[in-house]
Structure 1
Amino acid sequence: MARNRSAHELRLITIHFERLDRVDGSARFGFGDTTVLASVSGPIEVRLAAELASKATFEVTVRPLSGIPGTESKSLASSIRSLLSPIFIFTQNPRSLIQLVIQSLTPSPRSSPSQSFSPSLVAAMINASMLALLRASSFPLKGVICAVAVGKKSFGDHELVLDPEGEVAQGGCFAFLFGGGGKEEEVVWTNWKSGRGWEADMAVDGDADADLDDARELARKAAREVYASIRKAIAQEGGEVVMDVD
């Protein structure tokens, strides 16, 4: 059952490590009813056409709750692959494959079936992927990436909402790198949407949008809470974690 929360409060975070067959790591992550299942296999044998002589090949597949992956799924898979690639040390496993599969467990918004992935769902996908990669423990990683969404339900709204449910008129997902050896909580990706339209993978610095700085800082604080949840889940070695973030 949904609970009342403030505009600057995350929904209930749920983390569960699955034990799927024939994968090396799997996890389910949710913000309230927005949930995602991710699984990772690797290093495994790679197709000859995709083999790289000096490093591992990294493939990402995003699947909606129903139907087959379309253009939006493939575009999002490419973005997540670009986001996560820098935390791998691919040269440790040349001529092999690391395969990440992300399955949405959340229905598409009825009002916009072509927009299958809301900002909060994208954030859940990134977090579930990170958990599955950490759970696999079969390849070295340079850091942990955590994501949260911020947005406004309509252009007339004045207050930014953390972890908005469903579609937003303005907003997006922000991903932060923790423990990467550089600046802590560094923004490494966003798909912020302003009144001017989608600006996927844009550079954060130098943007003129008046709400962007506030949204980024709101997301930064919440990402720390997601990071704490992930660390606690990993420490419990596969136990279920349900955290109410106050």
Structure 2
Amino acid sequence: MHRSGGRQESDSREISISFDGLARVDGSARLSFGDTTALASASGPIEVRLAAEQPARATFEVNIRPISNVAATEAKSLAVAVRAALSPAVFLHQYPRTLLQLMIQALSPARAKQDDGLLAAMINAGSLALLNAGSVAMRGVVCAVPVARISDGTSTSLVVDPDVDELTRALGSGCFAFLFSSAPTADCVWMHWRNAAGAPLEKDLPAIRDFARNGARTILAAMKICCRQMGSRALMKPLSSADIAMDSNSDTSDEEMDS
């Protein structure tokens, strides 16, 4: 199926990652899919309010700030999704009676009422901010990818990171998050899928999940490239899927992403 920019079905838009070194936080990261950008900062373990204290584990708090206006119901819903996706990666039980705080700022407007590309950027930026902080033990790294099933009128196809035009033709869309660690396979730790109005119910979610897993591996490879330069605050040039595939160190094992 023809896609804008000559992308293949499994190609995302160009990926940009930087570690901004924000003040008064333990770690920060910015990630973009094309012009869809999120900035995340991580702090902790730090002192927690008595009302939120948990005796057996750390309190993991995620706050989302929209690009405009104040945080409302939609931002709170996004925060719940990001927390659910990232929680499996962190050993919260090692830090009882403390607070792990993640702040995520949307730096671009949502392209649709429910923009899975922006949600995936938030999850990935949060994952990178936790890696950049290095202050909490992690099982691995979480990578999220938006997926849609689109139609050209005669056939349908799954695509990674749909653009605005593809979203208007989508029969269904969603976001999938995978935990990459020393395990031989990446576990799907969070997902959601919605069908377009009038579209038939999706009956092949396992196949969609496997397709998304392959797309998430590209995100992981981009993270590896950028983590090698984590000490530099310079914004790396955007990475296309071809750039990532051609990286000379693409055989680096997933274990290097563990904290």
Kindly indicate whether the alpha-carbon contact (under 8 Å) linking 2:123 and 2:143 is maintained by their aligned counterparts in 1.
Answer: yes
Alignment pair present for 1:233 and 2:214: no
Partner Cα distance (2:173, 2:33) in 1? 17
Partner Cα distance (1:238, 1:229) in 2? 16
Partner Cα distance (1:171, 1:29) in 2? 21
The correspondence of residues 94-109 of structure 1 with structure 2, limited to 5 A, is: 94-109=96-111
Closer, same or farther: CA 169–102 of 1 in aligned 2, 3 Å: farther
- Partner SS for 1:160: strand
Once the 2 structures are TM-superposed, how far is the Cα of residue 161 of structure 1 from its aligned partner?
Answer: 2.0
Partner Cα distance (1:63, 1:229) in 2? 25
Once the 2 structures are TM-superposed, how far is the Cα of residue 169 of structure 1 from its aligned partner?
Answer: 4.9
Once the 2 structures are TM-superposed, how far is the Cα of residue 196 of structure 1 from its aligned partner?
Answer: 6.9
The correspondence of residues 56-75 of structure 1 with structure 2, limited to 5 A, is: 56-75=58-77
Partner Cα distance (2:178, 2:195) in 1? 20
Aligned to 2:192: 191
Closer, same or farther: CA 183–71 of 1 in aligned 2, 3 Å: farther
Aligned to 2:81: 79
Deviation track 1:55-107 (CA, whole Å, cap 9, x = no partner) reads 21110011211111111211121122122112211232222111001111111
RMSD: 2.3
Moved more, 214-223 or 120-129: 214-223
Gaps of 5+ in 1: 198-207
Partner Cα distance (2:87, 2:25) in 1? 19
Kindly indicate whether the alpha-carbon contact (under 8 Å) linking 2:31 and 2:125 is maintained by their aligned counterparts in 1.
Answer: yes
Which ranges of 4 or more aligned residues in structure 1 deviate by more than 6 Å? Answer: none
Moved more, 83-92 or 130-139: 83-92
Gaps of 5+ in 2: 243-259
Kindly indicate whether the alpha-carbon contact (under 8 Å) linking 1:154 and 1:170 is maintained by their aligned counterparts in 2.
Answer: no
TM-score normalised by structure 1 residue count = 0.84
Aligned to 2:162: 164
Higher helix content, 1 or 2: 2
Deviation track 1:204-236 (CA, whole Å, cap 9, x = no partner) reads xxxx72353443222111111111111221222
- Partner SS for 2:57: coil
Aligned residues: 229
Closer, same or farther: CA 211–106 of 1 in aligned 2, 3 Å: farther
Aligned to 1:200: none
Partner Cα distance (2:117, 2:161) in 1? 6
Closer, same or farther: CA 215–238 of 1 in aligned 2, 3 Å: farther
- Partner SS for 1:243: coil
Residue of 236, 241, 245 corresponding to 1:245: 241
Kindly indicate whether the alpha-carbon contact (under 8 Å) linking 1:155 and 1:195 is maintained by their aligned counterparts in 2.
Answer: no
- Partner SS for 1:192: strand
Residue of 151, 154, 176 corresponding to 2:148: 151
Kindly indicate whether the alpha-carbon contact (under 8 Å) linking 1:27 and 1:37 is maintained by their aligned counterparts in 2.
Answer: yes
Identity of aligned residues (%): 46
- Partner SS for 1:124: helix
- Partner SS for 2:6: coil
